């Protein structure tokens, strides 16, 4: 089977990842030479390609050695003996991989490589918050730069945030940068009867913030039995209307367990695209919510960073800052058990 046929075979059912994600035979034939060149060069450079679930499906299914959320990918990077890691996502995720893998070359191909959430806060902002609330522990979501992690006490992911906040031995906790996730955590602590007060920062993921509860209600009326699956970066109003809330990896696992007439995925549409490839028998409704940063990754740039990387493609972190950020992540492992 040719590479174009393999791509078409895998991607023909994808419809939810935006207008650029229609995989006709002609489109797959255009993509195939890039896929072949990247896979060849990857072997020669002893590289692995790690792709976030939100990037374009031809990357996930054409050239990636593994795909998942940023935390899963950082762990895979750590376990790998590859000399070069091409991290196809956004910059803060490449930084997390570099914090855990200082001896490896980490390359990021996307440009722009930002994130509305990670870019909402700096290390200086965290220092100001600490000065305003002396002695209050600072938790940061993993969607933050190395500079921010270096200023915080404990890192959390969307999978472990509720349980780690519950375990922190302090009533007041500064939580940055996701305001919506922070509100969801506060509600969960109240529901568990825990006396916690979260001090929040005004950051949001613009993709998850966009969801409108009215749209969820309309789709529920239109599709009896609809299962609504949401990421905790969505607003509390959205989570109240959802059947299941979890990180991208938890959403994927839950989808394997349940059987419903239709599903509404309230997270970046790359995850729906993955589900359409891996579970083509399931029906997905709703419109695409696309992250412009994740979708800035493309095969041409992956080929470029493998063949002729520019200075900006390398993720470098000063060692003193890396060690502080590493301590913040390691405390997460301690709390998560």
Euclidean distance between CA atoms 265 and 8, whole angstroms = 24
**CA-closest candidate to residue 34, choices 305, 300, 297:** 300
Q: Which is nearer to ligand SF4, 162 or 293 (CB)?
A: 293
User: 201-260: which residues touch ligand SF4 (CB under 6 A)?
Assistant: 205-207
3-state class (DSSP) for residue 88: strand
**Residue 261-290 contact track with ligand SF4, rule CB under 6 A, x = bound:** -------x----------------------
Tell me how many helices (H) and strands (E) the chain has.
16, 11
Residue 210 CB, nearest approach to ligand SF4 (Å): 10
Q: Which is nearer to ligand SF4, 74 or 205 (CB)?
A: 205
**Cis, peptide link before residue 308, omega less than 30° from 0:** no
Residue 54 CB, nearest approach to ligand SF4 (Å): 6
> Binding residue for ligand SF4 (CB under 6 A) from 56, 67, 143, 242?
143
> Binding residue for ligand SF4 (CB under 6 A) from 90, 97, 176, 277?
90
| CB 158 within 8 Å of CB 233 | yes
Binding footprint of ligand SF4, residue count (CB under 6 A): 13
User: 145-204: which residues touch ligand SF4 (CB under 6 A)?
Assistant: none
User: 41-80: which residues touch ligand SF4 (CB under 6 A)?
Assistant: 54
Residue listed under structure tokens 């009896």: 224
Q: Which residues pair with 87 in a beta bridge?
A: 50
User: 106-135: which residues touch ligand SF4 (CB under 6 A)?
Assistant: 115-117
User: 291-320: which residues touch ligand SF4 (CB under 6 A)?
Assistant: 291, 293-294
Contacts 24+ apart (CB under 8 A), 66-69: 67/274, 68/248, 68/249, 69/157, 69/158, 69/247, 69/248, 69/249
Residue 293 CB, nearest approach to ligand SF4 (Å): 5
Euclidean distance between CA atoms 196 and 84, whole angstroms = 43
Residues near ligand SF4 (CB under 6 A): 54, 90, 115-117, 143, 205-207, 268, 291, 293-294
């Amino acid at each position: 089977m040719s590479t174009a046929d393999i791509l078409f075979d895998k991607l023909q059912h994808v419809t939810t990842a935006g207008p650029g994600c229609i995989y006709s035979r002609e489109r797959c034939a255009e993509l195939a030479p890039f896929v072949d060149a990247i896979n060849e060069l990857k072997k020669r450079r002893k590289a692995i390609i790690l792709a976030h679930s939100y990037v374009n499906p031809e990357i996930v299914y054409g050239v990636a050695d593994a795909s998942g959320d940023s935390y899963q990918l950082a762990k895979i990077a750590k376990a790998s003996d590859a000399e070069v890691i091409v991290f196809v996502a956004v910059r803060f995720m490449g930084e997390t991989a570099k914090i855990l893998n200082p001896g490896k070359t980490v390359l990021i191909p996307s440009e722009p490589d930002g994130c509305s959430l990670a870019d909402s806060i700096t290390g200086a902002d965290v220092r100001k918050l600490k000065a305003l609330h002396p002695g209050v522990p600072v938790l940061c979501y993993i969607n933050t730069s190395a500079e921010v992690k270096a200023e915080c006490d404990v890192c959390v992911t969307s999978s472990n945030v509720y349980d780690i906040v519950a375990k922190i031995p302090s009533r007041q906790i500064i939580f940055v940068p996701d305001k919506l996730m922070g509100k969801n955590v506060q509600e969960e602590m109240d529901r568990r009867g825990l006396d916690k007060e979260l001090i929040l920062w005004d950051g949001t993921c613009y993709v998850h913030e966009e969801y409108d509860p009215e749209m969820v209600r309309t789709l529920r009326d239109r599709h009896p039995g609809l299962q609504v699956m949401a990421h905790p970066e969505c607003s509390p109003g959205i989570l109240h209307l959802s059947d299941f809330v979890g990180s991208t990896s938890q959403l994927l696992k839950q989808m394997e367990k349940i059987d419903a007439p239709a599903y509404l995925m309230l997270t970046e549409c790359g995850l729906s695209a993955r589900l359409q490839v891996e579970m083509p028998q399931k029906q997905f409704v709703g419109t695409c919510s696309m992250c412009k940063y994740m979708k800035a990754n493309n095969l041409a740039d992956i080929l470029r960073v493998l063949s002729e990387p520019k200075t900006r493609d390398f993720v470098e972190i000063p060692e003193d800052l890396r060690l502080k950020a590493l301590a913040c992540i390691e405390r997460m492992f301690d709390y998560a058990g």
